Amino acid sequence: MASKSSTTLLSGWLTRRLCRHFISHIQKHYSTATAGTAVLPTNQHSNHEESARTQSRRRQLPNEIKPLSHFLEDKFGRHHTYLRISLTEKCSLRCTYCMPEEGVDLTPTNKLLSTKEIIELAKLFVRTGVKKIRFTGGEPLVRRDICDVISELNYLRKNDETYAHLQMLGITTNGVVLSRKLPGLLKAGLDSANISLDTLVPEKFTFITRRNGFDKVMRGIKDAVESDLRTVKINNVVMRGLNDDEICDFVQLTQHQHVDIRFIEYMPFDGNRWNSNKMVPFRELLSKIKGKWPDIEKLQDSANDTSKAYKVPGFKGQIGFISSMSDHFCGTCNRVRITADGNFKVCLFGGNEISLRDALRSGKSEDEMLAIIETAVKKKKARHAGMLNLAEMKNRPMILIGG
């Protein structure tokens, strides 16, 4: 069952509805006996009603955008100002869509980026024009030095003009230990948390993630929503026959919560047994949602948004679709990635990688590092190969990339 605090926050309507659909679903698919339910908590002061503390933090961030450097511009004129850094290959969960059933071979610790190297690379990228950094994994919160890394970058953006254009420090997390780590993360300067949650049904959570932890994740979401974080988003990977029956329940959560729920199309990676039938295209999801809320509105997306934003009129929160498979957004992609073992990846779906760890460890100068980065960026393709081709191509399992 969901924890007391989660369940007390259920609306009666949603409770009855979830129980009904879960029981029938689980009987059909998993033969698990007991049902449990949960929804997001009612936040006393939402993350949109910013506290004085958040506002003062925001005031310290400059609005102007620094001139963009050519090192991060590709042949197609895309400026890569968003860096994702994977902090670890380890994870407390084993999501079926991310982690191969047989697990992954972990890189020896001495070949993973050290705290100092992560900070050094992050600083180099910010000096070169990166404005947003998101830490991912594996599960970034299993790495003990995460607050040290965030704190150092936060200090620099507040105290050194060279780093003042760093607008966002975020994490993507499975939420399992978020409650415990949140005070430290906020103190360090974290702005944003994307939290993964694919189901509102505890037993289904255990099936999808191959681990327990549903109540902890719900608690983590509650605490994040009630905290001073500037943005809290929920990532939901939609899989046909597994959690696509819960779409409207997730949309319903946005009625009273200032959260952004993003439905992500299931993507193929090594070892995740993807097939095109399991992927639910965003148009199908949208039409299902329109069946219930015909007046759902399209919101204006920002230039580099990967998500197509919508809102049910009168609801506090919003939803979005990340349609990487059925309607890619490669033309406006501004993201580059560094894996936990220090490889630079210019495309989530590209097999091409270059080791920045080795370059750093061999004592390359800043100019030499930038030349390596620029060469990789200039080789970035216009778009990914298309979902059916991607399924055949060699790439890392998602857990070794970082979404």
Total residues contacting ligand SF4 by CB under 6 A comes to: 12
Three-state SS sequence of the chain: CCCHHHHHCCCHHHHHHHHHHHHHHHHHHCCCCCCCCCCCCCCCCCCCCCCHHHHHHHHCCCCCCCCCCHHHECCCCCECCEEEEECCCCCCCCCCCCCCCCCCCCCCHHHCCCHHHHHHHHHHHHHCCCCEEEEECCCHHHCCCHHHHHHHHHHHHHHCHHHCCCCEEEEEECCCCHHHHHHHHHHHCCCEEEEECCCCCHHHHHHHHCCCCHHHHHHHHHHHHHCCCCEEEEEEEEECCCCHHHHHHHHHHCCCCCCEEEEEECCCCCCCCCCCCCECCHHHHHHHHHHHCCCCEECCCCCCCCEEEEECCCCCCEEEEECCCCCCCHHHCCEEEECCCCEEECCCCCCCCEEHHHHHHCCCCHHHHHHHHHHHHHCCCCCCCCHHHHHHCCCCCHHHCCC
Considering only the stretches 44-52, 74-82, 179-187, 395-403, report the one whose residues sit in contact with ligand SAM under the rule CB under 6 A: 395-403
Check if the beta carbon of residue 116 is closer than 8 Å to that of residue 124.
no
Please state the closest distance from residue 300 (CB atom) to ligand SAM, in A.
24
Strand-pair partners of 387: none
The reply to whether 26 sits near ligand SF4 by the rule CB under 6 A is: no
The reply to whether 136 sits near ligand SAM by the rule CB under 6 A is: yes
Please state the closest distance from residue 155 (CB atom) to ligand SAM, in A.
25
Backbone angles phi, psi at 193, to 5 degrees: -135, 125
Please state the closest distance from residue 139 (CB atom) to ligand SAM, in A.
4
* Residues 171-210 as x/- pattern, contact with ligand SAM by CB under 6 A: -xxx---------------------x--------------
Number of other CB atoms surrounding residue 38 within 10 Å:
27
Answer for which of 48, 94, 288, 316 binds ligand SF4 (CB under 6 A) is: 94
The residue of the chain with the least Cβ separation from ligand SAM equals 403
* Residues 78-97 as x/- pattern, contact with ligand SAM by CB under 6 A: -------------x-----x
Strand-pair partners of 337: 84, 345
In the list ligand SF4, ligand SAM, none, the entry touching 353 (Cβ below 5 to 8 angstroms by class) is none
Q: Measured between alpha carbons, how far is 256 from 278 in angstroms, rounded to an integer? A: 31
In the list ligand SAM, ligand SF4, none, the entry touching 235 (Cβ below 5 to 8 angstroms by class) is ligand SAM
By CB under 6 A, the residues from 145 to 204 that bind ligand SF4 are: 174, 196
Residue 38's alpha-carbon distances to 15, 144, 306, in angstroms, are: 7, 30, 28
* Residues 357-396 as x/- pattern, contact with ligand SF4 by CB under 6 A: ----------------------------------------
By CB under 6 A, the residues from 262 to 321 that bind ligand SAM are: 264, 266-267, 269, 272
Q: Measured between alpha carbons, how far is 257 from 315 in angstroms, rounded to an integer? A: 8
Considering only the stretches 26-34, 166-174, 244-252, 357-365, report the one whose residues sit in contact with ligand SAM under the rule CB under 6 A: 166-174
Answer for which of 98, 225, 229, 347 binds ligand SAM (CB under 6 A) is: 98
Answer for which of 40, 78, 126, 139 binds ligand SF4 (CB under 6 A) is: 139
The reply to whether 220 sits near ligand SF4 by the rule CB under 6 A is: no
Total residues contacting ligand SAM by CB under 6 A comes to: 21
Nearer to ligand SAM, 185 or 267 (CB): 267
Check if the beta carbon of residue 133 is closer than 8 Å to that of residue 166.
yes
In the list ligand SF4, ligand SAM, none, the entry touching 191 (Cβ below 5 to 8 angstroms by class) is none
Please state the closest distance from residue 19 (CB atom) to ligand SAM, in A.
25
Answer for which of 99, 113, 188, 224 binds ligand SF4 (CB under 6 A) is: 99
The reply to whether 399 sits near ligand SF4 by the rule CB under 6 A is: yes
The reply to whether 398 sits near ligand SAM by the rule CB under 6 A is: yes
Considering only the stretches 42-50, 95-103, 259-267, 346-354, report the one whose residues sit in contact with ligand SF4 under the rule CB under 6 A: 95-103
**What residues line the site for ligand SAM (CB under 6 A)?**
91, 97-98, 136-137, 139, 172-174, 196, 235, 237, 264, 266-267, 269, 272, 398-399, 402-403
**What residues line the site for ligand SF4 (CB under 6 A)?**
91, 93-95, 98-99, 137-139, 174, 196, 399
